[in-house]
Amino acid sequence: MSQVRVRFAPSPTGFFHIGSARTALFNWLYARHTGGVFVLRIEDTDQARNSEAFLDVIYNSLSWLGLNWDEGPRVGGAHGPYRQSERGDIYRAYLEKLMASGRAYEKEGAVFFRISGEPQVIEDGIRGRVERTEEKDFVIVRSGGSPVFHFVNVVDDIAMGITHVIRGEDHLSNTSKHTELFKAFGAPLPVYAHIPLILKQNGPGKMSKRDQGALIEEYQRRGILPEALVNFLCLLGWNPGDNREKMPLAEIVRLFDLPGVNQSNARFDEKKLAHMNWTYLVELPPDAYVEQARAYFARLAAGPAAEGAARIDPLAADPAYFREIMLLGQPKVKAIEELPAYTAYFFTEDFGIDPKVREKVMAKGDPVARLRELIATLATADFSSDATLEAAVQALAARQGLGLGDYVHVGRLAVSGTNVGPSFFSLLRVLGPDRVRPRLDRFLATAAGGSI
């Protein structure tokens, strides 16, 4: 049997849609699974919307997702050029064949394809037998001379030797036009496989580019890991058959096949993606995690300054300090984009005290007294490790016959202004005595109403 050749054929619109990403992914998976060839072809016959910048969106998104192409722009191949805007000669030659055989005719300046009107039957790799009859002739070349999608799509699939057409279900009804053309050229039909669509999270209809979560560059910007997004996308319409979800891509490549693809549309679930992303995030090696964080803060700094949230620049801090803080966040935070809020008080003395937390903490026992004792203890404590700090505070609590929480709660509030964060002792150690002591003193001054 000859080698599988699949293609992903986006048109450069300036956006890379999550549905396109999954179509590209399924094509890529099938190519890798079968040892076939993954072709990238740019469908830019609509000259109105076309620019190098738009092409870069496609290349960058595919590269970010790790979907490398074997033939196409930038890598070349034996079936080029791979941009339809550069394939005019090929289309003209194919058009002549149709004119010569009487299957194409000119009318009012446009060229129409003469359909056979026969029922068009395909054996869809996912849906099985699908039959549809095309009812009227359709335009294949506009009166302006530019060829139309259905025509160039089929011509290129023939010329590029595409064996399997894996595309969205929104093309299922177009397929009768395409098979009419294949037959008119005397070319064998490819295997079609129409994958289900991704529906928008809320409301009716398929996901469109204006919907929440539709754009790949948005995930990139938010610090979602591409491995996680790819894993998630694989599970939208496909599964390994056992109950596994988080899987190495190599394993998915090994198991992926067309008959295993679902037939029903899937609703996009941002929460499940967030969870998948988190499972990848916590497993990241420290260096990689810190790099993700660094890149995120860099994008944040480059972007428009958020109202109020500005002023803090963690990247200006000592890199070793930055690193320690981010690693404190890694097991705690669900997403990279939560890091700025989670770590803000490490990088500024101008952090606010959460009034609700303050009210809660100050209402129980005698927090001012506890704070004074904590200050006294930390004045001489060894800040070199979490363990030494914890031992010191444990000893204090034991001496007073109190629980650790009596000191930790008020202490945490004083040094961070909140009740959310890493272990109190990690907090103390990383902040260090030079930040911790003044913060405790400052908080005591306000908490004691100035009467120290």
102: which 2 tokens? 């009487």
Query: For RNA, which stretch binds (CB under 7 A), given 87-95, 223-231, 309-317, 402-410?
Result: 402-410
> Is the Cβ–Cβ distance between 122 and 192 less than 8 Å?
yes
User: Of the two residues 128 and 432, which places its CB atom closer to RNA in the complex?
Assistant: 128
Least separation in angstroms between residue 30's CB and RNA is: 17
Shortest gap between Cβ of 422 and RNA (angstroms)? 6
364 binds RNA (CB under 7 A): no
Q: Pick the closest to residue 278 from 216, 318, 331, 345 (CA basis).
A: 331
Respond yes or no: is residue 334 known to be catalytic.
no
Interface pattern 2-41 for RNA (x via CB under 7 A): --------xx------------------------------
Q: Is residue 171 part of the contact set for RNA (CB under 7 A)? A: yes
Q: Cα separation of 26 and 166, whole Å?
A: 7
Q: Which is nearer to RNA, 67 or 198 (CB)?
A: 198
Q: At what angle do helices 319-329 and 424-431 cross, to 10 degrees?
A: 170
DSSP sequence for 60-91: HHHHHHT---SBBTTTB-TT---BGGG-HHHH
Site string for RNA, 245-264 (x = CB under 7 A): x----------------xxx
Q: Which is nearer to RNA, 2 or 429 (CB)?
A: 429
> Token match 């929460």: residue?
271
Site for RNA, residues 76 to 115, rule: CB under 7 A = 108-110
Helices 404-416 + 367-380 axis angle, to 10: 80
Among 72, 237, 314, 367, binds RNA (CB under 7 A): 237
Give, as ranges, the residues between 130 and 169 that touch RNA (CB under 7 A): 130-132, 138-139, 142-144, 146, 148-150, 169
In the complex, the smallest distance separating the C-beta of residue 198 from RNA, rounded to whole angstroms, is: 9
- Residue 270's CB is within 10 A of a number of other CB atoms, namely 11
The minimum distance between CB 320 and RNA, in angstroms, equals 22
| Block residue for tokens 């290129």 | 156
Closer to RNA by CB, 142 or 311: give it: 142
C-alpha separations of 288 from 63, 224, 280, 307, 333 in Å: 18, 13, 11, 30, 15
Cα–Cα distance, 95 to 155 (Å, whole number)? 9
- Smallest gap from residue 367 Cβ to RNA (A): 13
Q: Is 197 in the site for RNA (CB under 7 A)?
A: yes
| Span 288-327, contacts to RNA by CB under 7 A | none
Cβ count within 10 A of residue 1: 5
CB of 370 to RNA, least distance (A): 12
Least distance in Å: CB of 155 to RNA?
Answer: 13
Q: Which two tokens stand for residue 16?
A: 């890379």
Select the residue interacting with RNA from 295, 316, 376, 420 (CB under 7 A): 420
Sole binder of RNA in the list 258, 266, 430, 447 (CB under 7 A): 266
Given the residues 209, 246, 271, 332, the one annotated as active site: 209
Q: Of these, 33, 97, 183, 275, which contacts RNA (CB under 7 A)?
A: 275
* Spatial contact of 21 and 61, defined as CB atoms under 8 Å apart: yes
Q: Which two tokens stand for residue 429?
A: 């150690």
b/e code 48-81 from CB counts within 10 Å (16+ = b): eebeeebbebbbebbebbebebbbbbeeebebbb
State which of residues 3, 173, 388, 446 lies at the interface with RNA (CB under 7 A): 173
Cβ closest to RNA, residue 334 vs residue 442? 334
> With contacts defined by CB under 7 A, how many residues of the chain interact with RNA?
71
Task: Just list the catalytic residues.
Answer: 209
